[in-house]
Amino acid sequence: MRASLPALREAVLDAVAVLLPVDCAGCGAADRALCSGCRRALAAGDHRHPLADGTPVHSALLYEAQVRTAILAFKELGRTDIARALSVPLAHTLHRVAARTGPVELVVVPTTRAAWRRRGYDPVPLLLAQARLHPARVLRRVRATGTQKALGTEARSANRAGSLAARGSLMGRRFIAVDDVMTTGATLDEVVRAVTEAGGEVVAGVTLAYTPRLFAPSS
Ligand SMILES: [Zn+2]
């Protein structure tokens, strides 16, 4: 009589947990990188919210509860052991959107030098690599978005716009812009602006998660 595959898998996971004790990145339960409940919470949904210019954005998950904790652990606490689990809903959403858009390339926001030094990895490309997807390195940062203290609200917004530029002409190239968490959409707006300025087109955005707006903006 043979052990069933799921039982065998559980046994292997438990053996690994004994060797490398970890807590669930989503809820803190002992001995698993991601417990089965938190794994279930990573099932991809389809949360849609266009950018201001009408570009559709699809997000796999809502950035709340254990999903938020897990993504924060992955991005800020070095929990790259859950990269594979987080890549599944992102890749699922990307494949679903790309099936409708036709041939496209992926574009991501280049990480800052400071963020790279702090983390030692680049979260979004790492998730994509887990799914054997590789973004085109077509954008670069042209300046830091600092030194805003003396600027008013409008000038600050203008200062943020223009922080990215294409490395060369993107004429005739179509992209899906990929990011980890969408909050206001300002980051994706800037990707769309930079790609469009270089002659390319962003046909859609895809993010791993979306921050639900609890309150309508006041202006
Ligand atoms: Zn958990």
Report the percent of the chain where pLDDT is more than 90. Answer: 71
Amino acid at 186: A
Tell me the CA–centroid distance for residue 65 and ligand 1, in Å: 11
Question: Cα of 3 to ligand 1 centre, how many Å?
Answer: 25
Per the DSSP assignment, residues forming a β-bridge with 182 are 210
Please give the distance, rounded to the nearest whole angstrom, from the Cα atom of residue 39 to the centre of ligand 1. Answer: 7
Both 101 and 3 in one domain: the answer is no
Is-contact 26 67, C-beta < 8 A? yes
The domain that holds 151 is classified in CATH as 3.40.50
Shared domain for 55 and 30, answered yes or no, is no
Please say if the pLDDT value at position 3 is more than 60.
no
Ligand 1 centroid – CA 38 distance (Å): 4
How many CA within 13 A on the CB side of residue 209?
Answer: 23
> Is the domain of 91 the same as that of 147?
yes
pLDDT on residue 196: 97
Query: What spacing in Å lies between the alpha carbon of 188 and ligand 1's midpoint?
Result: 30
> Is 185 among the domain residues?
yes
Looking at the predicted structure, is the pLDDT value of residue 184 above 70?
Answer: yes
Q: Is the pTM of this model over 0.95?
A: no
pLDDT at 8: 64
Do 26 and 53 sit in the same domain of this protein?
no
Residues within 5 Å of ion ligand 1, judged at the Cβ atom: 24, 26-27, 29, 35, 38
Alpha helical stretches, state H, 79-212: 83-101, 113-119, 123-130, 153-160, 186-197
Rg, Å, the chain Cα set: 19
Sign of torsion over alpha carbons 24, 41, 110, 143? negative
Number of domains observed in the structure of the chain: 2
Longest CA–CA span in the chain (Å) reads 74
How far CA 140 is from CA of 33, 84, 160, in Å, comes to: 34, 27, 14
- Residue 215 alpha carbon to ligand 1 centre in Å: 28
- Ligand 1 centroid vs 73 CA: distance in angstroms? 12
Residue 215 lies in a domain: no
Tokens 């890549």 correspond to 87
pLDDT at 217: 55
Query: Separation of 179 CA from ligand 1 center, angstroms?
Result: 24
Residues 8 and 97 in one domain: no
Cα of 87 to ligand 1 centre, how many Å? 17
Higher-confidence residue of 109 and 17: namely: 109
Strand-pair partners of 61:
209
- Residues 11, 14, 18: CA angle, nearest 5 degrees: 140
Q: What is the DSSP letter of 162?
A: T
Q: How far is the CA of 169 from the centre of ligand 1 (A)?
A: 45
For the cut 90, the answer to whether the pLDDT of residue 195 exceeds it is yes
State which residues form the domain around 83.
Answer: 44-210
Q: Is residue 8 part of a domain?
A: yes
Residue 99 has pLDDT above 60, yes or no: yes
Long-range contacts of 7-12 (CB under 8 A, 24+ apart): none
User: Where does the pLDDT of residue 141 fall: very low under 50, low under 70, confident under 90, or very high at 90 and above?
Assistant: very high
Same domain, 116 and 8: no
Give 30's pLDDT tier (boundaries 50, 70, 90).
confident
Same structural domain for residues 189 and 160?
yes
Q: Which pLDDT band, with edges at 50, 70 and 90, does 213 fall under?
A: confident
Query: Does 117 score more than 80 pLDDT?
Result: yes
Query: Would 33 be classed as within a structural domain?
Result: yes
pLDDT, tens only, 37-58: 999 999 999 999 999 999 999 9
pLDDT score, position 9: 64
Please tell me whether residues 11 and 114 are part of one structural domain.
no
217 located within any domain: no
